[in-house]
Chain A
Amino acid sequence: RKEVEQDPGPFNVPEGATVAFNCTYSNSASQSFFWYRQDCRKEPKLLMSVYSSGNEDGRFTAQLNRASQYISLLIRDSKLSDSATYLCVVTLSGGSYIPTFGRGTSLIVHP
């Protein structure tokens, strides 16, 4: 089983739709969680950190489910500009702070 798994998609949704991605992780000692956005041929950029209590930033909501070992990203009212690849990143604890990436989920928002 891979350490961090994501459905590669693509998720093809119309403008205004709500879409959700999940990311599962295998190591229960994982401590920090992040969602990044990557546009084609560009570097990943931090979208949001994921906190235990869940957090929201405008149209984006991130949640952590430690019992089932997954994080989620919900995008409401999708815009054309949301089209990108969304990467989840998990950092292990126990003195090893190496971030591990999922392969990313591709989102295409169409008119």
Chain B
Amino acid sequence: DGGITQSPKYLFRKEGQNVTLSCEQNLNHDAMYWYRQDPGQGLRLIYYSQIVNDFQKGDIAEGYSVSREKKESFPLTVTSAQKNPTAFYLCASRDRESPLHFGNGTRLTVT
């Protein structure tokens, strides 16, 4: 079945370490997105990519980086520059005006 896979589901890291969250989709979607969600809050856009080898900053890109070398993959790196990295991270993809399809998320805890 087609879908979006995020891994790992839970991730624990020490402060000061970079960490990369994986997002893979086999839906053949051009556009992919990374969102962050904090408890009781809405989704905030970190980065998005509408085509391979191109990506744009979202509303809260500071302290994050991405790459889009393949259509299927859009990994997110949370760097040590991100001041409050503990959050629920959601990857999504879509095709033009279609609805977003979400992965099941990665819950990152940094201590």
Residues of chain A lying within 8 A (CB to CB) of residue B101: 46
- B104 adjacent to A43 (CB under 8 Å): yes
Residues from 42 to 82 in B contacting A, C-beta threshold 8 Å:
42-43, 45, 48, 50, 58
Given contacts A43-B104, A49-B99, A89-B100, contact A101 B42 (CB under 8 A): yes
Residues of chain B lying within 8 A (CB to CB) of residue A104: 42
- A44 adjacent to B97 (CB under 8 Å): no
Residues of chain B lying within 8 A (CB to CB) of residue A91: 97
How many angstroms from the CA of A36 to the CA of B100 in the assembled complex? 10
Contacts between chains A and B (CB distance < 8 A), count: 47
Name which of B88, B97, B99 has the most chain A CB atoms within 10 A of its CB: B99
Interface string of B17-47 (1 = CB under 8 A from A): 0000000000000010101000001110100
- A102 adjacent to B105 (CB under 8 Å): no
- B97 adjacent to A31 (CB under 8 Å): yes
| Size bracket of the B interface | 20 to 34
B contacts, CB < 8 Å to A: 31, 33, 35, 41-43, 45, 48, 50, 58, 88, 90, 94, 96-97, 99-105, 107
27 contacts between A and B (CB under 8 A): A32-B97, A41-B107, A42-B105, A43-B103, A43-B104, A43-B105, A44-B90, A44-B100, A45-B102, A46-B100, A46-B101, A49-B99, A89-B99, A89-B100, A91-B97, A97-B31, A97-B94, A97-B96, A97-B97, A98-B33, A98-B45, A99-B33, A99-B94, A101-B35, A103-B41, A103-B42, A104-B42
